[in-house]
Amino acid sequence: MNPIRIPGLALLVVSVLLGFPAQGLVGAQPAGSAGTAALAHDDIAKAPECPICGMDREKFAHSRVFVTYEDGTVYGTCSLHCAAIDLAVRLGLAPVSIEVGDYDGRHLIDAESASWVVGGSLPGVMTRRAKWAFETPEAAQAFIQQHGGESTDFDAVLKAAFEDMYEDNRMIRQRRKQMQRQKDGG
């Protein structure tokens, strides 16, 4: 009879019906039929939360990454930082495609042919040194003119993600500790 409980229950029922995992257990889901990526945010329906950090991938659509491995496993993360962690863990499986959210349009683009920007004045997602992907070199240049950063390719940006791993993980742990302290302190 409590009206507050009804939306929660309805949401739960909807998520169960749609087969969404309650908590980031998307790693083992098979890839859908070819061409599903053409649907605007279909990958977010498949992987609503980043399995590494739990962040909402719709909210971070502009930095999200979606990897399809050779055995059909798909893996959706909030950022290149979290995707790099999975790529390192699954060394035995080759990725057949790595897609990333276009910073401007939020649609998925091929990460390997994207124009990447490293750094700049905007805070990165799960990283101190931001890493953004753009569909065209012109869009990347327009971003750099406004926010700074350096234009680069996928190999270099992936290398940067691994280089930043130590500092970024340290920063994330510290932030979590602070948030916990604030919560505990009221």
State phi, psi for 41 to the nearest 5 degrees: -120, 40
Distance spanning both ends of the chain, measured CA to CA: 30
Binding to Zn ion by residue 61, rule CB under 5 A?
no
**Minimum CB–partner distance for residue 65 and Zn ion (Å):** 9
Q: Considering only residues 68 through 107, tell me which ones interact with Zn ion, judged by CB under 5 A.
A: 77-78, 82
**Minimum CB–partner distance for residue 104 and Zn ion (Å):** 21
Asked if residue 66 lies in contact with residue 99, where contact means CB atoms within 8 angstroms, the answer is yes
Q: Which is nearer to Zn ion, 44 or 78 (CB)?
A: 78
Give the count of residues interacting with Zn ion (CB under 5 A): 7
Considering only 53, 85, 109, 130, the residue that binds Zn ion (CB under 5 A) is 53
Binding to Zn ion by residue 50, rule CB under 5 A?
yes
Binding to Zn ion by residue 52, rule CB under 5 A?
yes
Rounded-to-integer distance, Cα 53 and Cα 48, Å: 12
Q: Which is nearer to Zn ion, 111 or 139 (CB)?
A: 111
Nearest to 102 by CA among 128, 68, 134, 145: 134
User: Which stretch of DSSP H or E encloses residue 100?
Assistant: strand 95-101
**Minimum CB–partner distance for residue 179 and Zn ion (Å):** 16
Radius of gyration of the chain (CA): 18
Q: Encoding tokens for residue 18?
A: 């749609």
Q: Which is nearer to Zn ion, 53 or 139 (CB)?
A: 53
Rounded-to-integer distance, Cα 146 and Cα 120, Å: 9
**Minimum CB–partner distance for residue 125 and Zn ion (Å):** 8
Q: Considering only residues 141 through 160, tell me which ones interact with Zn ion, judged by CB under 5 A.
A: none
Q: Which residue has the tokens 């390192």?
A: 88
Q: Encoding tokens for residue 175?
A: 């932030």
Q: Which is nearer to Zn ion, 102 or 168 (CB)?
A: 168
**Minimum CB–partner distance for residue 64 and Zn ion (Å):** 9
User: Which stretch of DSSP H or E encloses residue 80?
Assistant: helix 80-89
Binding to Zn ion by residue 118, rule CB under 5 A?
no
- Binding stretches for Zn ion (CB under 5 A): 50, 52-53, 55, 77-78, 82
